[in-house]
């Protein structure tokens, strides 16, 4: 479960029919979409525009992920998806992420995600922008 830490970003998401299989259970890959949205909104909430990064030849890619599915979310559930930065280097940042049932805060899914910074034109690793390094430093 998440603590009430200012470093934990929470994004509420409703489970729609498009997220589920024929039995109304969230398809496993949809959790990755939810987590991607939460990380993107975490960045946006810190004042960093992703479009500006693209213009500066910066992109972010998932380099590594360890995920544990515990209990399935179902059609019409309201979930909270968290993003918490837990470590970083000059070229990557690591997040702890959870998907919780909103009402009960029951843990449905959790993951450790490492996101690398790359040059958009070459796909090669590049240094995180200074503003992102500062945000990560202040989140520690």
Q: What is the pTM of this model?
A: 0.92
The helix (H) or strand (E) run that includes residue 44 is helix 28-45
The domain 9-139 belongs to what CATH superfamily? Hotdog Thioesterase (3.10.129.10)
**14-34 pLDDT tens trace:** 999 999 999 999 999 999 999
Q: By three-state DSSP, how is residue 40 classified?
A: helix
Cβ contacts of 122 within 8 Å, gap of 6 or more:
none
Q: Between residues 107 and 6, which one has the greater pLDDT?
A: 107
Catalytic residues: 21
CA atoms within 13 A on the CB side of 13: 26
Every domain of the chain and the residues it spans: 9-139
pLDDT above 60: residue 1: no
Do residues 82 and 112 touch, judged by C-beta distance below 8 A? no
What is the predicted pLDDT for the residue at 4? 54
**51-97 pLDDT tens trace:** 778 889 999 999 999 999 999 999 999 999 999 999 999 999 999 99
């Amino acid at each position: 479960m998440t603590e009430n830490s200012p470093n934990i970003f929470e994004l509420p998401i409703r489970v729609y029919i498009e997220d589920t299989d024929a039995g109304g259970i969230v398809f496993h890959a949809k959790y990755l979409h939810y987590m991607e949205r939460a990380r993107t909104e975490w960045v946006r909430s810190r004042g960093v525009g992703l479009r500006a990064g693209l213009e500066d030849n910066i992109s972010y890619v998932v380099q590594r992920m360890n995920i544990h599915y515990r209990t399935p979310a179902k059609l019409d559930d309201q979930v909270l998806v968290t993003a918490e930065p837990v470590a970083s280097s000059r070229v990557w940042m690591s997040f702890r992420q959870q998907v919780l049932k909103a009402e009960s805060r029951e843990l449905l899914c959790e993951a450790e995600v490492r996101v690398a910074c790359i040059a958009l034109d070459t796909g090669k690793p590049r240094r995180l922008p200074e503003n992102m390094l500062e945000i990560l430093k202040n989140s520690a």
